[in-house]
Structure 1
Amino acid sequence: MTFEPTPDFAASLDAQDPLRDFRDRFHIPPAPDGSESIYLCGNSLGLLPKTARAAVEQEFQAWEQRAVEGHFHGASPWMHYHEMLAPAAARVVGAKPLEVVVMNNLTTNLHLLLISFYRPTATRYKVLMEGGAFPSDQYALESQVKLHGFAPDEAIVELLPRPGEHTLRTEDIEAKIQELGDSLATVLLGGINYYTGQVFDMAAITRAGHAVGATVGFDLAHAAGNIEMHLHDWDVDFACWCTYKYLNSGPGGTSGAFVHERFAYQFDLPRLAGWWGHDAKERFQMKKGFKPMPGAAGWQLANGQIFPMAIHQASLALVDEAGGMSALRRKSEQLTAYLEFLIRRLQLPATQLEIITPSEPAARGCQLSLLVHQNGRQLFDHLAAAGIVGDWREPNVIRLAPVPLYNSYRDVQRTGEVLAAWAKAE
């Protein structure tokens, strides 16, 4: 498609957009002038679905009218709430319902999974991760390797881009995995790097890791609800994700975990056990001796957080109603490409502003990271004053994420106008 920078062109794209009506299913925060803001910060916190209040109110009513019996009776018995969420959550990440469970928060799930899938020995103890990963991953891995008696500086190997580049090459990741060989216990990468917006080739990385005998997992915080994934088919060992970004399930909302089907009945796999992960048929017998549920549900510790899960159920229903991840991804690729077109047509020198997110659609989600070498904070404030909500990351990166469920082409076009006005003033 040949893009144009005009409001009429953006309006024509919006008129043809099969997802255009979903914008009205969300609450759009106001801009400083009282109009709707242009919200490009779904990579940090997604917007509130209008169905969320009713979903939570249903559970308030169940609590009010049934009290403890709400666990067993009513429209959505709490005893089985995680089971109701599994099919839709599995569709988001390309898994089987057996392989997915909604529980806890992301870092808790990451720790629970690392207990099972980081099993170092005296010779195979290293972990491979991307340099500058989100702090949750850094801190989790530091503590896990210490737990096993290793020094983080020796056990954790960080991947860094080539000099003069901002993103990692798949061949370099594969080469490092091969180089580490039988010293490598676990590979843990973000499915999408939070800072650059780069999508990693999870299938290729998983193959490379398995070829040297390592387990492979991904933190999908910025990937879930953003890109199409096929965790089962890619043979990924484990993964976890939050739901408050592209899945719009509320601040601090519940999280998801994936454990591949081949581990579903490996009940002797080391794990931290809890009551809710115990065999449901015997759970209320209150006996000693942990017998895990098959699949990812066997990693549960405690009963579900019903109110956050209710919001998540409402948000997952919107994803399904929109046609699933393939439909969202089609619009996402075009929205992001349009934003890239508008930024590049400013023809700013790389010494002033760079897009450090890859240009290839398959190598990015719906986020562009702008490395602003001069007056970056002033640009961020300029966008905010115009009602454009982005995300600032130290020392000088602005992240803009046009989300297909609620952003329009007019949002992106208007952002281009504001950026052009700033560039002209510069």
Structure 2
Amino acid sequence: MISDLEARVSRKLMLRIIPFVMLLYFVSFLDRVNVGFAAMTMNNAIGLSPAAFGLGGGLFFIGYFLFEVPSNLILHKVGARRWIARVMVSWGIVSAASAFVVGPTSFYVLRFTLGVAEAGFFPGIILYLSLWFPTRQRAVAAAWFMAAAPISTAIGSPLSGAIMKLPTMWGLADWQLLYIIEAVPAIILGFVVLKYLTDSPSKAQWLESDEREWLIARLKMEADARQSHAGHTAGALGALRDPRVLALALIYFGTSAGLYTLGLWAPLIIRQYGFGSFETGLIAGVPSILAVVAMIMWAKHSDRTEERTWHVVIPCVIACLGFVFAGGASSALMIILALVVVNIGISAAKAPLWAMPSVFLSGAGAAAGIAMINSVGNLGGFVGPFAIGWLKDVTGGYAAGLYVVGATLAVSAVVTLLLSRQAKQAPGAVGERHGH
């Protein structure tokens, strides 16, 4: 039974922290994938081939990969409030500057720089949530936070499509206006973060003293229990060498390949069926709304049953089958149905997956390990979009690339099962029921 005090704290945490971090991620994701809509006119304007667009779209993740771990370790040192504010202002500036690319080279440079600027945001928030939410709430908290990505697609796609219908203003084309308009919220929110975010429960004046004491004691008890496990890792170097961290990164790789293939290529894949830019935005948004519902319900079930492995495997298999279906689709209706299946699978897998690292990582180990999983995993965001663009140049269609992305999700499902089997044979199990 949950006590009245625990229920009160849970409610306050959900209301104070989750809507705000969702807003931040909403803006982050919008700035990351609006290049898919800009591409409708930008590619011709600056001379980008499908392969060059796929490469540039993916270079974001190389910058992200290189700076992710250092960024999260700095956040662990200086606190989330200051560091996340810095991240948001810098990526907003770079995103706005993307309006002034003039050819493939400047496009590549700006995409790489955007990745550097944004490095540390997502794992920083995941780490931040682990400092506030007890284990029993963690998958649901992560699910609500990550629901901002499909919500961003659902709202942001029609919004981006509408901006792409604007006439030339101040000498700026539609794609240039898109970058600038959607970059402004990130810069403003960076300054809001400094005022609103609280670094740790001990500084939370918005909790009553008994609520604060209960939360600090509960989190300390869970941390002590983790540290008594033989499989626990607290140091940064130990976390980077931990095979479980590398396995989780490989699992995340497939989900990232799928997510960013959708973000970057779905508008262009849908548009080939003769839809206008606004209609394309509406159609791209529909699967995301269904994905949000599936994501929250699946995370709640994962937290309630305290099971993670199958809660990752099943959605990965569903997403894989969705990509195979998309590759064979021959009508607009088939491609939309396939996108619904893919969206639901990818979104549902993420929260149970992100509930796994905090079972065996803490302190600097959690900062480094979570950043490592995210940075290596996000290389899937480079491989997926690049494979689609390169194979489209080679084959003239999207099918081969969609099958490749589907295969990465099949690998994610297999690695999750192998990790679970290894965990059963060793202390500090990652994927199975674990003591709360």
Q: Where on the TM-score scale, by shorter chain, does this alignment land: which range?
A: under 0.3
Higher radius of gyration, 1 or 2: 1
Greater fraction strand: 1
Q: TM-score, normalised by structure 1?
A: 0.26
Q: TM-score, normalised by structure 2?
A: 0.25
